[in-house]
Structures are given as C-alpha cells and as structure tokens.
Amino acid sequence: MTQNNKNTVFSDVRSLQEMGEFGLIDRIQRLFNGNTDSQGIGIGDDCAVIPIDNDYSMLVTTDMLIEDRHFRRDWISAKDLGYKSLAVNLSDISAMGGKPEHAFLSIGLPDDISPGWLEDFFLQTHTACEQYGVRLSGGDTTKSPRPIVINYTVLGRICKKHIHLRSDAVPGDRIALLGNPGDSGAGFRLLKEQVPVNDNRHLRLIDAHNRPPLFVDEAQFLAQYSGVHALIDLSDGLRPDAGHIAERSNVIMRIELDTLPLSPEFTETCREFSWDMYNLALTAGEDYGLLFTLNPEQADGLARDFESRFGYRFSIIGDVQEGKADVVFKLDGRVKKIQTHGFDHFRSP
Amino acid sequence: MTQNNKNTVFSDVRSLQEMGEFGLIDRIQRLFNGNTDSQGIGIGDDCAVIPIDNDYSMLVTTDMLIEDRHFRRDWISAKDLGYKSLAVNLSDISAMGGKPEHAFLSIGLPDDISPGWLEDFFLQTHTACEQYGVRLSGGDTTKSPRPIVINYTVLGRICKKHIHLRSDAVPGDRIALLGNPGDSGAGFRLLKEQVPVNDNRHLRLIDAHNRPPLFVDEAQFLAQYSGVHALIDLSDGLRPDAGHIAERSNVIMRIELDTLPLSPEFTETCREFSWDMYNLALTAGEDYGLLFTLNPEQADGLARDFESRFGYRFSIIGDVQEGKADVVFKLDGRVKKIQTHGFDHFRSP
C-alpha cells in the first residue's frame, strides 16, 4: 500500500537537473512526511530538533562538501578547509540559538593527499573545536577514488523555550543582521575570475569566503531573549534566506538596501570591477551572518544589551509586514527589483 | 603551545598509503585525545556514547560510502543500496545494544542519476526506516562531480546500564555468534570475479552482500541480559572484529572453526570454486552478524530464552581466555593459522 501510492515521487521529471535541488528535497520530504511526526521537527529548518527531556532538545545538522563542487584545492588551503567545513555546521546550530557540542567527521581522501595537508587540516580542526568548545566525538575515514569528501554531523543542545525557528517572524518585527553580506560572495568571485590579488581588501574578502566569521556566542545570547523571534544563518544568501523566513512565517520581509552593513572592502571592490553590488550582497551565499527578527518594542533595549556584551552593534535592515510571503527591497523609498534565485546545487553548472 | 607539541602528528610518514587507515585513525585519536573526556566515549567503539540524563545515553554512528570504492552501480541495485547504506549504520547502533531512532542522510548525486534510480533508492530507504522504526530526521543533498557519495549519521538511545562495549569480555566467557560468516564475502567475490551466476546459492550469497540481514531486535534483547558482556557487529570480518574485542578487553579469543555456523550455500560455493573457506569466512567483511561474549553460567538459560523469543539459536563458537590480546583458531584440537588482516581502506588497492 505504502509502495503503491508513493510510487510516483520522482517519476514526474526526466532528470535530476529538471528536478533541481529544492525539487529533490521537496520530494524526499513528501515521501518521508508521515515519518516525521510530533516527536521532532524534521527536514526543513537549519537543524532537526530532537527532544531529550522536559527542558532540553538536541539539535542536529549535517552537511556534505565535495571537492570541485563546494571547494577547489587550489582556492582554499587545508587549514581554511579544516576550519570552514566545521564552521558551516556550527553556524547551523547557532542559527537556532543552540550550543554546538559534538562533531562527527566523515572524510574521504584520495591517494595524493600529503601528510602535510592532513597536518594542516586536522590541526586547524582541533583548534576550531577548542575555540568553540566542541568535541570531535567520532567519524569515519575512507579512501576516495578522486575527490576529497567531507561530511560533518554536529549535535548541539538547546533549552526548549529558546528554540528559534524560521517560522517565528511576526508582522511588525524589526529585521536585524549580524555580519557583512556579500564579503564571502565577492571573495569567491575574486577566486573564480582569477583576479590577480593585489591588495589587502581582496585578501580580506577571500578570507571572508574561506574563513567565514561565526556568531556562535552572539546567537546563544540572542536566543535567550523572548523579543527575538525568527533566526537563521546566511548560508544560501540574504535574499533566499530572508525568503525562507518569509515562506515559513508567511510574511513579507521588507529590507531597506541603504541600511545593509556592507563592508568598505566589499563596496570598493565592487566599484573596482563594476560588479552589481546589491545583486552580489543579496544573492551570493556562504556569508554565515545571522539574520533575525525582533519585537520592535524590545529592539532598543536588546541593542543596548548586545552592544554592552559584545562591544559592537547589530544592524536593523528592515521590518516584517503582513501579506503573502515575499521579500521586498527598497532603495530611496522605492521598491527595487532584485533578479536571480538562490544557489541550486543541481541546476547550476 | 598546543600547536607546537602536536605539530608532528602526521609528518612521520610520507604518504597516506604508508600511514594506512588505522594509522590515520590512530593519529586523529591522539590529536583529539584531550578533546574526548569522561563526558562520553569517543572515537573507537562502534558508536560514540553521549550521556543525555541519569538513565539514558545517546549512541551516534556515522559512515561514508563512495561509489567505486564501497560499491559499484553495476553490482548493486538502487534498492539494495538504499537498504544497505542505512542498514550498516543501524548495525553499529545494535552492536552496542541500542535502539536506532533518527537517521540523517547526506547524499551527493552526479548528473546522470535517473529519477527511476532515485525512486528505487528512496522508496527502499523509506521501507527500511519503517521496518526498523527509524525516522529520517534530516540530511543534505548536493550534486557530485562524479561518484555517488552517501553519508549516514544514525542516532540511537540506550539505557546506560545496558551499554555493551568491545572492552567488556571477561576470561571464561563463551563466544557466541549470530549470522553466517562468509556469506557476504562470498557474494562479493562472485560479483568481483564476474562469475556467471547460475543458481540460487549464488544469488543468496550476493543477496547477503547487498542486503545483509540485521539483528536489531536480537541485539536489544541480548543487551538487557547482564550475562552478555562484549558485543560487536561483524563489519570488518570475524577475525579482525574478534581482534577488536581481544585488544580492547586484553584477552585471547579462542574460536573453534568447526563450530562456525557456515551456510550450505557458502560451503558449497567455496567447494565449487576451490576457495579457502575459513580464510574467506574469517577475513571478509560486511557480514553484519553479531559477535558477543557471555558468562558461561548464564549461557544455557540465555540460549533457551533467546530461542523461545526468536525461534532460532545463536551459535557458541569458542571461549575467552586470559592472556595477551590475540585471536586463536582451533580445528580438530589443533591451532590453525589464519593469515591476512582486516580490510584497510587506504592500503588495499
């Protein structure tokens, strides 16, 4: 019975490209829907949430990186790769307000990996674990016929009342941002277009791509405030990630472009190469900043508390409005159209 | 400081092959040793053990499969791959006596994967989840430049007093086995040597390789008995896995070869192709049977309880002796040497 009525999950399309990544995830969700019940929140948010007792839940996230798809050995050092592959998972735990605790690393290595590469990769992994208080609690090692493959699963813990979901935004909320959108995307573009890197601005952008700053402590701090509502990390890009909140919360996310905390390195480099600044800042992924919405009445108090704790401020970049799920950008009082979609692993070349 | 005294973890060898898989794992363990403390049992047993409250712990296992390394698309159907890739992880949870609960699947897919392949893979995954009461609670999908890559992380739960480790064997214990060692190895050899498969015996052996039977309920049943001591699943092969118990428990595992529960399909096929039966049964991996040791005074009672619950018996294949960690095989009262080692992902071709 189960077999019969589910027998057309994937057969309505002719290829994986036609399906796309979100199409694939959608179909997997549909198939396993009955399998994901009230015991936990399943496929879809930054992490799965597994209740462990009356007060606490476990957060679980997993992420696969494949060489020549997610990284290139000549664009990222073994050190940076060691850091970044763990960091992106810690960011997912942070994105729900949790404290990352245990990491599990599966790694597939081709024959030509040198002991020096391993030394750099694992020493940096060790350093990152110590920095963020995470334990490497297990894993798997295997030979790979060709690409380096890295899969992390990270477990975190969160007090149930501090869980923040993409669906928690409320009309009237302010939209806030930590981190500089576009830095990572610009760094990636410098690498991809093989621009001769000739100044510190370029190096800093490449660094933002290869060693994205994390907001682990900040996220845990924010998560404790009842005035903080939806929370997400910027992995797909500001526009698509704001879109995730819009869809899950069924609200309009209205963002004022001139309030975006763009770094001078970013704006100057965009000017230097005539890159479309807003397009890059809004659609390039892997920023790992934190995007959140907060009760407008608590916004000022929270901003002060945050600044006195961390010594810097978050940016208010817009507000949440009632209406059909959408992300709207305004510049100089007018709506500005931003074309393009988020990154789709199966559709892009 | 940390950097300095750890700066030679990998640089004593010239290549990954020279290091070998166990050498690599060893070095990673050494590096992260301080990072794995009394809060949990780290890298090394079948699963990591993470305490969640006074009574229960979480078990976590993770496993990476890469096409053309662990499987070939022309040797295993999408259905069987869907089943097996999950099954090997459930087996690890069983190997400590736990109940598998949540699965996280990361999958890297090349462009040429058809919707039909996905249909078979995911429907079978769904069936296996329902069969074993496991929830697919999250994951990651990505495009892969070439090989299919599958990484599962499975979480299970276990009552703390029912945890069984490789280090729990005691001199005097009986050694017991569930499953038919060698079936999977013979099936793999039939595939590898491209033998024209011409009878049901061959098909059954290939099936044992592609759809290994699991002992999930049996393991949970056994784990509740205080008379059951060490417990492990046969993933590396009977000899290496018995060796893991020997090393961790610092005992001699003495196995009587004529008591091994070899299947008629296996022995007849070995005869047909003049394969060294004991060598294959003891050194080929991926059997996923259960190997355990038990208090001799409770062995008979447990055997009866087990049979009345499951309708079949486990095999007693030897006993545990005091002495320097070793695995010894006896046949017709004499010690029999079995050459060869377990499978090493980095050393074998």
What residues of chain B lie within 8 A of the CB of A137, using their CB? 36, 40, 42-43, 48, 50, 60
pLDDT at A13: 84
Q: What is the mean pLDDT of residues A305-309?
A: 97
pLDDT tens figures, A3-46: 444 567 887 888 888 888 778 888 888 888 754 443 445 455 67
pLDDT at A277: 94
pLDDT tens figures, B187-206: 999 999 988 887 899 999 99
Contacts for B56 with CB less than 8 Å, ≥ 6 apart: B157, B158, B159, B160
What residues of chain B lie within 8 A of the CB of A31, using their CB? 122-123, 126
pLDDT at A27: 86
- Residue whose C-alpha is closest to residue A237's, from A170, A165, A289: A289
Distance from CA of B346 to the nearest CA of A (A): 5
Q: What is the mean pLDDT of residues B26-47?
A: 64
- Residues of chain B with pLDDT > 70: what percent? 91
Distance from CA of B62 to the nearest CA of A (A): 6
Chain B residue whose CA is closest to A124: B3
Put the strands of the sheet holding B174-178 in their side by side order: B228-233, B290-294, B174-178, B315-321, B252-256, B326-331, B334-336
Angle between helical axes of A115-132 and B16-31 (0-180°, round to 10): 20
Q: Domains plus CATH for chain A?
A: 1-35 (no CATH), 41-161 (3.30.1330.10), 165-336 (3.90.650.10)
Contacts for A167 with CB less than 8 Å, ≥ 6 apart: A230, A245, A248, A249
- pTM for the model stands at 0.89
Give the number of beta-carbon pairs within 8 Å between A and B: 276
The answer to whether B11 contacts A113, with C-beta atoms less than 8 Å apart, is no
pLDDT tens figures, B104-131: 999 999 999 999 999 999 999 999 999 9
The answer to whether A127 contacts B3, with C-beta atoms less than 8 Å apart, is yes
Chain B residue whose CA is closest to A131: B35
For testing the chain A interface, which of B106, B120, B148, B152 should be mutated: the one with the most A CBs within 10 Å?
B106
- Residue whose C-alpha is closest to residue B98's, from B160, B144, B43, B141: B160
Partner residue facing A11 (CB), from B58, B116, B137: B116
Integer Cα distance of A158 and A89 in angstroms: 15
A126 token code pair:
């060790």
Predicted ipTM?
0.87
Q: Are B252 and B246 in contact (CB under 8 A)?
A: yes
pLDDT at A107: 96
pLDDT at A1: 36
Chain A residue whose CA is closest to B129: A35
pLDDT at A336: 85
Integer Cα distance of A231 and A222 in angstroms: 9
Partner residue facing A118 (CB), from B10, B144, B153: B10
pLDDT tens figures, B152-177: 999 999 999 999 989 999 999 999 99
For testing the chain B interface, which of A33, A136, A158, A346 should be mutated: the one with the most B CBs within 10 Å?
A136
Residue type, B233: D
The answer to whether A135 contacts B40, with C-beta atoms less than 8 Å apart, is yes
What confidence tier does A2 reach under pLDDT thresholds 50, 70, 90? very low
For testing the chain B interface, which of A12, A18, A137, A149 should be mutated: the one with the most B CBs within 10 Å?
A137
Which range, of A14-23, A201-210, B294-303, B325-334, averages the lowest pLDDT?
A14-23
Put the strands of the sheet holding A290-294 in their side by side order: A228-233, A290-294, A174-178, A315-321, A252-256, A326-331, A334-336
